[in-house]
Amino acid sequence: MEKIMKKLLYILIILLLGCVPEKENFQEMTIQGKITGKIPERIEYTIPINGISYVGFENAVQPDSLGNFTISLVIDKASFIELSDGHKAYGTIIAEPEMNYDVSIAVEEKKNKFTIKGPNQKGQDLYNQNPNRSLLTGHFEVEATKYSKDSIPKRIKQNLEESREHTLKTYNDLLSDNLISKEFYELVSIDQHYFYAGAQTSIALLNYLLSERKMNFLTEEEYTDLWEEAFQSNPVSNPALMRSPWFFYYVKSYLWYKDLVEDNIKPEALLKIKKQELPHTYHIELAKTYLAGKQLEYYYAAYLYMEAISQNYEKELVRLFELFKEAYPSSEYTQFIASEIIPIIAFHRKQDEELNEHTYILENPKDINSLKDAVHKLNAQRVYVDIWATWCAPCKKEFEYNSRLYQLLENEDTAMLYISVDKDDRAEKWMEMIKYYQLEGYHIRANEKLYEDIKRLRGEDRFGIPWHFLMDGEGNIIQKYMSGPSEINTLKKQLQGN
C-alpha cells in the first residue's frame, strides 16, 4: 500500500510540474554609454515589448555631468533600441539578451557620431549608416520619391528589389564570415524587406492621390497591382513584421489599400467623416475589420499615440483610449499612451476657464490686410511677431518657453503679436489653443490678404513655421529672422542689438 501511495505521489508531482508554464527566456541586456559635446538633460530610448520596438514606446535616462549613462533592459529576443534626443536621432542598437554594449555619441562630430563596441559590431556600424533604419532618419516616402516620375511598374519593382538585395548582401557576407549572429541578420532582413515593400505601397498611394487631379504617372490598374503585390509578397499577417519599427506605417498603408481600393471608399466620403469629427473612430473600426489579437492591440496603441502627439487635442482620442483600456486591461502599451492623453484631458478642462487677462484678440480682422495694419493696432515701439498655426507641432513646442519670453519682452519694451495662418475651419481650435497655452499678447488669424503680405515678406525663402521676426511701430522690418523663446539667450542678444 505504501509503495502504491508513493507511486501515486510521484505521478501527481510529475503532473503538477507539467502544469508549470515554461519560463520565458527574458535576460538582462546592458548599454554603457558616453555622450560628448553638448550633454542633453536626458537620452530617450525605445523599450522593446516582446521584441516590438516603436518610436513612441520609450523611456529616458539622465547622463551624469561627464556624459556617462547606463541603460538596462530585460529582453527575450533580438530587438531594435533607438537612442534619441526628442526627434533628433542618435543611433540604433540591435540588442540581444544577456549582451553588453559600449556606446559613444559624439554630438558635435560630422562623421562617426554614433559608435558601438560589442556583439555584431560590424553589423551595428553598417546598420547605423543606413538612412532607412528608422522613422527619425527616413521613411517610405523618402525612398518612394526616387520613383516619382517612373511610369513603368516592372522597372519600379525591379529597382526596389535590387536596392533591397544590395542592402542585405553586405549583412549576408557578414553572416557568412561569422561577424554577426543569425538572430541579428534575421531581424535586419525582415526589417528591410518590409521597408522596401512599404516604399512600393507609398508609390502606389502617391499615384492614387495624384489621380484625383489627373496627375498620376501610373494607370489605376498599374498602381493598384503595385499596391496589391507588395502585400502579397510581404503579408501583414507575418508575425515577424511586428518586430520591425515599420510595422505601424506598413499596416496603415494596408488599411488605406483595403479602404480606398478594395472597398472603393471615395475621398468625399472620408471628408464627410472628418467633418463629423469621427475620423479616428472610423480608422480604428477599419483596423478591427482586418487585424486581430496582438497585431490589433499594437496597431491600436501606436495609432492613439501617434495621433495624440500631433497636439490637436481631439476629445475623440480620449474616448478611444478608454475603449482601448476596456479591450486590453493589462496592455503594456497603456502607460505610453496615457502620458499623451493626459494633456488632451487638461486641454478641454482649460476651456472652461476665462481668457488670460493679458491676452487680446484684435478686432475687425477683415480690415487688417497687411502687417502694417496689424502693427498699427498695437501702438507699440517694437513688435515681436510669431507666425504659427494650430496644426504646427514645432510652433506649440516653442510655447513651452513662453514664461521666459514674456518677461524678456517686458524688459525690452517690446509687444507680442501672434499671427495664425489657420484657415476658417480651424477658427475654434485657434481660440482653444490660445486659451490652453495662455498666449499673452495680441492675436489675429490672418485673412487672405494678410497671409499674402506675410508671404511677400518671406520672399523666395521657403515658407516654414514657426517664424519669428521683429518690426518697429510703423510696421517696418527690423530683423526678418529672430530666435524663438526656446533660444532665449540668443533672442535676448538680438533684441538688444548685439
* Exposure letters 399-432 (e unless 16+ CB within 10 A, then b): beebeebbebbeeeebbbbbbbbbeeebeebbbb
Torsion of CA 38, 39, 44, 48, to 10 degrees: 100
Q: Annotate 416-483 with DSSP letters as a single string.
A: EEEEE---GGGHHHHHHHHHHTT--EEEEE--HHHHHHHHHHHTTS---SSEEEEEETTS-EEES---
Residue 262: predicted pLDDT: 86
Q: Among 165-169, 208-212, 271-275, which range has the highest average pLDDT?
A: 165-169
Tell me, what's the pLDDT at 263?
81
Do the beta carbons of residue 29 and residue 74 sit within 8 Å?
yes
Is the confidence at residue 19, as pLDDT, over 50? no
The DSSP symbol for 147 reads G
Q: Which residues pair with 75 in a beta bridge?
A: 27
> How many Å apart are CA 411 and CA 408, to the nearest integer?
5
* Grid cell listed for 239: 508575425
**Per-residue pLDDT reduced to its tens digit, 232-265:** 999 999 999 999 999 999 999 999 999 988 887 7
Nearest partner of 221 among 160, 153, 174, judged by Cα: 153
- Copy the grid coordinates of residue 353: 476657464
Q: Indicate whether 25 pLDDT > 70.
A: no
pLDDT at residue 465, rounded to an integer:
95
Angle between helix axes 182-211 and 121-128 (nearest 10 degrees) is 10
Closest CA to 189 of 103, 100, 253, 94: 94
pLDDT cut 70: percent of the chain above it: 92
Beta-strand runs (E) in 277-430: 359-361, 382-388, 415-420
Q: What is the mean pLDDT of residues 448-459?
A: 93
Q: What confidence tier does 4 reach under pLDDT thresholds 50, 70, 90?
A: very low
Residues belonging to the chain = 498
Assign 96 to helix, strand or coil: coil
Q: Could you give the CA distance from residue 293 to residue 300 in angstroms, rounded to a whole number?
A: 11
Asked whether the beta carbons of 189 and 168 are under 8 A apart, the reply is: yes
Instruction: Compute and round to an integer the Cα radius of gyration of the chain.
Output: 27
In tens, the pLDDT along 365-424 reads 999 999 999 999 998 999 999 999 999 989 999 999 999 999 999 999 999 999 999 999
pLDDT tier at 294 (50, 70, 90 boundaries)? very high
468 exposed, middle or buried (CB, 10 Å; 0-12, 13-18, 19+)?
buried
pLDDT at 212 (0 to 100):
81
Residue 268 has what pLDDT?
A: 67
Q: What confidence tens digit (pLDDT) does each residue in 215-234 have? A: 888 999 999 999 999 999 99
Nearest to residue 335, comparing CAs of 345, 325, 349? 325
Q: How far apart are CA 348 and CA 230, in angstroms?
A: 42
Distances (CA, A) of 24 to 31, 71, 298, 331, 429: 22, 21, 20, 18, 48
Q: Write down the pLDDT at residue 211.
A: 86
Within 10 angstroms of residue 307's Cβ, the number of other Cβ atoms is 19
pLDDT at residue 139, rounded to an integer: 83
Count Cα atoms within 13 angstroms, Cβ side, for 341: 22
Least confident of 44-53, 259-268, 327-336: 259-268
Domain ranges in the chain are: 27-128, 140-350, 359-495
- Under CATH, which number does the domain 359-495 receive? 3.40.30.10
pLDDT at 20 over 60: no
Cα–Cα distances in angstroms (integers) from residue 389 to residues 69, 267, 348, 426, 484, in the given order: 37, 25, 19, 9, 15
Model pLDDT, residue 16: 35
Q: Specify the amino acid at residue 296.
A: L
Helix axes 267-275, 279-290, angle to 10 degrees: 120
Q: Are 68 and 259 in contact (CB under 8 A)?
A: no
Beta-carbon contacts of residue 269 (< 8 Å; ≥ 6 apart): none
Average pLDDT (59-69) is 96
Within this chain, domains 27-128 and 359-495 share the same CATH topology: no
Fold of 27-128: Immunoglobulin-like (2.60.40)
Q: What is the reported pLDDT for 3?
A: 40
Portion of the chain with pLDDT greater than 90, in percent: 74
301: left (phi over 0), alpha (psi -120 to 50) or beta: alpha
Segment (H or E) for 28? strand 27-36
**Amino acid residing at 154:** K
CA 404 to CA 409: how far, in whole Å? 9
Rounded Cα–Cα distance for residues 134 and 166 (Å): 18
**Beta-carbon contacts of residue 263 (< 8 Å; ≥ 6 apart):** none
The pairing of beta strand 100-106 with beta strand 27-36: parallel
Residue 18: its pLDDT value, please? 39
CA triplet 110, 112, 116: central angle to 5 degrees?
Answer: 150
Query: Taking all residues of the chain, what is their mean pLDDT, rounded to a whole number?
Result: 89
Residue 112's pLDDT is 76
Q: What is the pLDDT of residue 132?
A: 79
Residue with C-alpha cell 481668457? 355
